[in-house]
């Protein structure tokens, strides 16, 4: 996976509504579901949903097929797997024994004005 591709996937998921949409499609499985069902389930106005689905599709996270008047969207699991592989590439210099040597934490999550000595 190329960096640009990874950024596109992450950006596509980095938004509340789109994350909801994607997870709903992950739950639905490979059969997918019509855009209208997604809109109903998540109470999204059609134009907003269409905008978000287009971004997910452009990023390669969902596929579309038409069934009559409905467009059926489905999650592309391969894309997510490839992303995870990209993120963990060369983890710990490929030396797994380095991956859990110590439990360290020095501020991690909370925002602080200054890092103490």
Partner DNA sequence: TTCGTATTTCAATAGTCATTGAACGATGAA
Partner DNA sequence: TTCATCGTTCAATGACTATTGAAATACGAA
Shortest distance (Å) from residue 57 CB to DNA = 8
H/E segment holding residue 57: helix 46-58
For helices 3-13 and 16-28, angle between their N-to-C axes, nearest 10 degrees: 100
Shortest distance (Å) from residue 112 CB to DNA = 8
For DNA, the closer of residues 16 and 96 by Cβ is 16
- Distance CA(61)–CA(16), nearest Å, equals 15
Residue 108 near a copy of itself by CB under 8 A: yes
φ/ψ region of 107 (left if φ > 0, alpha if ψ in -120 to 50, else beta) reads left
25 Cα distance to chain centroid: 11
DSSP state for residue 35 in the 8-state scheme: H
Chain residues that interact with DNA, rule: CB under 7 A:
11, 15-18, 34-36, 39, 44-55, 64, 66, 68-71, 113-117
Choosing among a copy of itself, DNA, none, which partner's interface includes residue 108 (Cβ < 5 to 8 Å by kind)? a copy of itself
Question: Which positions touch a copy of itself (CB under 8 A)?
Answer: 3-4, 6-7, 10-11, 13-16, 19-20, 22-23, 26-31, 57-58, 60, 62-66, 71, 74, 76-77, 80, 84, 87-93, 95, 98-102, 104-109, 111, 115-117
């Amino acid at each position: 996976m190329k960096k640009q591709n990874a950024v596109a996937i992450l950006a596509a998921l980095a938004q509340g509504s789109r994350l909801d949409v994607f997870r709903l499609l992950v739950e639905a499985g490979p059969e997918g579901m019509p855009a209208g069902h997604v809109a109903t389930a998540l109470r999204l106005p059609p134009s907003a949903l269409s905008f978000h689905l287009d971004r997910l599709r452009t990023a390669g996270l969902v596929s579309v097929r038409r069934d009559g008047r409905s467009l059926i969207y489905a999650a592309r699991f391969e894309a997510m797997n490839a992303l995870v592989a990209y993120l963990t590439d060369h983890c710990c210099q490929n030396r797994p024994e380095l991956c859990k040597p110590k439990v360290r934490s020095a501020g991690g999550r909370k925002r602080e004005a200054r890092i103490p000595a």
